Chains A and B, each alone.
Chain A
Amino acid sequence: MAWREKLARWQRQLLAERARLTGRWSPTTGPHFILELTSTCNQDCHYCYNVWKQKPALAETVLDAAGWCALIAKLQAETGCTRLTFSGGEPLTHPGFGEILAFCHARGLESILITNGGLLDADAVAFCLAHGVRMFELTLLAAEPATHDALTRAPGSWERALSAMLCLQQAEAAWCGVFVATRRNVQQVRETLELLIALDASALMFNRCNPGGAAQLALMPTVAQVREALAVVNELAARYGVFATASIPIMPCLIETGPYRHVHFGFCSAGRENAYPTLGPDGRVRPCNHSATVLGWFIAAGSFVMGRRMVQGLVLRAEGSSEPSSIEAVEIAHCGWRRCSPDWGRGCSSSGVSPGSPCSWAW
């Protein structure tokens, strides 16, 4: 079977190389980058996965608007990317957010905005929509303020999030409502998702808490709790015809996913064609937003070359660096496990190497 896999891999590499040379990227396969514009946030969530919560050195400096614009121009020129996702921290706290977004729009880039909604008023929504934001992602953690605000450690954040969602509804924007399931709020999944649906969320995302960043293992919901919550997500997705996804890997060896036919299950995409390499606040590149592995420091002033295999997310070579980094090798080495079945994707090995956390596959 090895030669078959080798052949398949070779074919994928060739197709990806052709895509790189011709500049014709499949809209479904990327390249897609997440830009963590800033490490600053107006919340202090218990479950936050930002890598600098454990490794502050990863966010010692933050690029200003000019730095980000130069980096984005370079990314676009060298990879032909057409979509970017803005994240943080809270991206709207970046003083140059408007300038960066306008720059992207002027270059024909579409974007996705991941925000807690605290600063997203009607004017901000209108500006974003006029400047190429095609999707907003907002988190609602509970059906009542006490639980939500306790998890975000930001009084008033529940009401602000709902107000932002109302603005999106009134602007008829496409937005995804995210529920992060922790042991403290998973019991409210039905009531919370109902609020999101009632406010015309275009999609629902059910993410189990992922250890890493500030999130500790004690926050993890149990397998039984996630199983019950998934049944609710499945039911609501079917009843209201809304797209629902579980993006943080839930391995089928832990939870039989078959019955949840209306929920799409995602797996780790690092090292795949649909990978989303992440650029941190200072411009350093990592395999994804959950991983603290630094692949290269591609500050705008420096020159960098994305290796040809970057197309597939396998190898990213920084000019001047001695060795290319193999994302796939890193992922496997960190986890210590092969993926369980050829039919399954990989679990999140980044969370598996977080201090105090076992491999999430054993969760």
Chain B
Amino acid sequence: MKRLMKRVKVWGVSALAFCVSAACTFFGIDFGPPTPTCYIPPEPTPTPEMVTCYEPVVPVFKATPKPAMPGDTPKGAPLILCYVMPAPTLTPTPTPEPEGRDVLRGRLLAEGRFPESVAQEL
């Protein structure tokens, strides 16, 4: 009986998931994988400058005051909620010529970069 109930539950959940997926397809929502594990950076665009604002939530936690560091805004200055996203100034670095690890290992050995105990084994 327990196994039957579980199978019914699996069937029900699967059917529901299918219905929701169908509804998503109908409404043109493409979810893809649930949540990307890595941030995939967008292509640099020629947008000159863009101001984006954070949306602060109702404060439920009083942040610890940030210790003053070089380059910081003066103590007591209001918390900046907006930042200026600069126009992409960096272009993707060109892919360098591939170099074998053996070549690198040889160079580091020649330069004496490994401790003696390791160098002897390499």
* Given A166-B118, A240-B104, A272-B35, A261-B41 contact (CB < 8 Å): yes
Q: Are B98 and A240 in contact (CB under 8 A)?
A: yes
Q: Are B54 and A15 in contact (CB under 8 A)?
A: no
- Is residue B1 within 8 Å, beta carbon to beta carbon, of the partner chain? no
Q: Are A337 and B57 in contact (CB under 8 A)?
A: yes
* Given A267-B39, A359-B63, A362-B66, A162-B118 contact (CB < 8 Å): yes
* Given A7-B29, A362-B66, A336-B60 contact (CB < 8 Å): yes
* Given A235-B93, A362-B66, A11-B57 contact (CB < 8 Å): no
Instruction: Please give me the residue from chain B that is nearest to A191 by CB atom.
Output: B113
- Is residue A225 within 8 Å, beta carbon to beta carbon, of the partner chain? no
A-side contacts of B57, CB under 8 Å: 332, 336-338
- What distance in Å separates the Cβ of B36 from its nearest Cβ neighbour in chain A? 7
Q: Are B34 and A253 in contact (CB under 8 A)?
A: no
Chain B 97-122 near chain A by CB (<8 Å), digits 1 or 0: 11101001100100001110110011
- What distance in Å separates the Cβ of B61 from its nearest Cβ neighbour in chain A? 5
A-side contacts of B113, CB under 8 Å: 143, 191, 194-195
* Given A4-B27, A253-B52, A258-B44 contact (CB < 8 Å): yes
The stretch that binds B, out of A173-181, A282-290, A340-348, is: A340-348
- Is residue A107 within 8 Å, beta carbon to beta carbon, of the partner chain? no
- What's the Cα separation between A344 and B90 when bound, in Å? 20
Chain A, 188-226, CB within 8 A of any chain B CB: 191, 194-195, 197-200, 217
- Is residue A334 within 8 Å, beta carbon to beta carbon, of the partner chain? yes
- What's the Cα separation between A170 and B83 when bound, in Å? 49
- What's the Cα separation between A335 and B64 when bound, in Å? 11
Across the interface, A21 reaches (CB within 8 A) one of B6, B24, B114, namely: B6
Q: Are A336 and B63 in contact (CB under 8 A)?
A: yes
Chain A 226-239 near chain B by CB (<8 Å), digits 1 or 0: 00000100110011
- What's the Cα separation between A4 and B26 when bound, in Å? 12
- What's the Cα separation between A336 and B60 when bound, in Å? 7
Instruction: Please give me the residue from chain B that is nearest to A361 by CB atom.
Output: B54
Q: Are B37 and A266 in contact (CB under 8 A)?
A: yes
Where chain B touches its partner, the secondary structure class is: loop
A-side contacts of B24, CB under 8 Å: 7-8, 11
- What distance in Å separates the Cβ of A291 from its nearest Cβ neighbour in chain B? 14
- What's the Cα separation between A274 and B36 when bound, in Å? 9
- Is residue A76 within 8 Å, beta carbon to beta carbon, of the partner chain? no
Q: Are A166 and B9 in contact (CB under 8 A)?
A: no
A-side contacts of B39, CB under 8 Å: 252, 257, 265-267, 343-345
- What distance in Å separates the Cβ of B37 from its nearest Cβ neighbour in chain A? 5
Q: Are A358 and B66 in contact (CB under 8 A)?
A: yes
Across the interface, A7 reaches (CB within 8 A) one of B20, B85, B98, B104, namely: B20
Q: Are A357 and B92 in contact (CB under 8 A)?
A: no
- What's the Cα separation between A264 and B38 when bound, in Å? 6
Across the interface, A258 reaches (CB within 8 A) one of B23, B37, B88, B117, namely: B88
- What's the Cα separation between A7 and B52 when bound, in Å? 27
- Is residue B78 within 8 Å, beta carbon to beta carbon, of the partner chain? no
- Is residue B74 within 8 Å, beta carbon to beta carbon, of the partner chain? no
Q: Are A18 and B98 in contact (CB under 8 A)?
A: no
18 contacts between A and B (CB under 8 A): A17-B13, A18-B14, A21-B13, A29-B34, A163-B117, A166-B121, A198-B101, A217-B67, A252-B39, A253-B52, A258-B44, A258-B90, A261-B41, A274-B35, A333-B61, A336-B57, A336-B60, A358-B63
Chain B interface residues (CB < 8 Å from chain A)? 6, 9-10, 13-14, 16-17, 20-21, 23-24, 27, 29, 31, 34-39, 41-44, 52, 54-57, 59-61, 63-67, 69, 83, 85-86, 88-93, 95-99, 101, 104-105, 108, 113-115, 117-118, 121-122
> 3 closest Cβ contacts across the A-B interface?
A358-B66, A258-B41, A14-B17
